[in-house]
Amino acid sequence: MSPTTTLALAGAVFILAVTPGPAVASITARTLAAGLAAALWHVAGIALGDIVLISLACLGMSTLAQNYGEVFLAVKWAGAAYLIWLGLCAFRSDDTPPADMPPPPPGGHHKDALTGLLTTLGNPKAILFYAAFLPTFVDLANISVAEYLLICAVACSVVFAVLAGYALLAARARRLLRSRRTVRAMNRASGTVLVGTGVVIASRS
């Protein structure tokens, strides 16, 4: 891949990542509900999902989708169900202001990463992008290992940087919360967004 092609790919991935969709909605809601650390693990899972989709595109995503369509459908439903469950948990969350809450225990963020991974794998927009647009940047039939690694590095770094920016903005808003009434409203709003995102993912073909 030439430098020009690499920059064009980075720009296309940036547009994909910055456009509001299930990933942005789930990251914002997760940040408001659980804080920045949980959101960044969620972002890492989303970036990992992009690498999986790139790998599938290189292997022939259309063929895989035809032969293993049920697997893609199961992943989509699993991701949607988990987002809805997180939303319901947000509705029942403690309304203590973040500044008054004890620090969370270390570790335990693998579920956030898994949710991010499922969010990407169940997002038709991301699947369509890598299946339809990636071949315009590189010949997938003759892709080299170096080109594959470069594509993964570009996509992963751009996606992580953009979505981490959304998480940082949401974390700033979270730190401004001082009253139980405001926290309760935030929990309900983030819960609604998470449930709505899960429903949208489940309903898209």
Concatenating the DSSP letter of every residue in the chain gives: --HHHHHHHHHHHHHHHHS-SHHHHHHHHHHHHH-HHHHHHHHHHHHHHHHHHHHHHHH-HHHHHHHSHHHHHHHHHHHHHHHHHHHHHHHTS----GGGSPPPPS---HHHHHHHHHHHHT-HHHHHIIIIIGGGTS-GGG--HHHHHHHHHHHHHHHHHHHHHHHHHHHHHHHT--SHHHHHHHHHHHHHHHHHHHHHHHH--
Q: What is the pLDDT of residue 81?
A: 75
Structure confidence at residue 173 as a pLDDT band (50, 70, 90): confident
User: Which residue type is seen at 80?
Assistant: A
Q: Which two tokens stand for residue 158?
A: 């751009």
Q: What is the pLDDT of residues 46-97, one digit of tens each?
A: 999 999 888 888 876 555 555 545 655 665 676 677 667 767 776 776 565 5
Q: Which two tokens stand for residue 125?
A: 């927009």
Per the confidence metrics, is the pTM higher than 0.95?
Answer: no
Report the interhelical angle of 69-91 vs 110-121 (nearest 10°).
Answer: 130
Q: What is the pLDDT of residues 136-166, one digit of tens each?
A: 778 777 788 888 899 999 999 999 999 999 8
Angle, alpha carbons 172-118-186 (nearest 5°): 30
Per the prediction, the chain carries an average pLDDT of 76
Lowest mean pLDDT among 17-21, 51-55, 67-71, 172-176: 67-71
Does 169 or 197 have the greater pLDDT score? 169
Average pLDDT of span 158-179? 82
Residue position matching structure tokens 């998480």: 167
Does 121 or 98 have the greater pLDDT score? 121
Does 61 or 23 have the greater pLDDT score? 23
Average pLDDT of span 19-36? 79
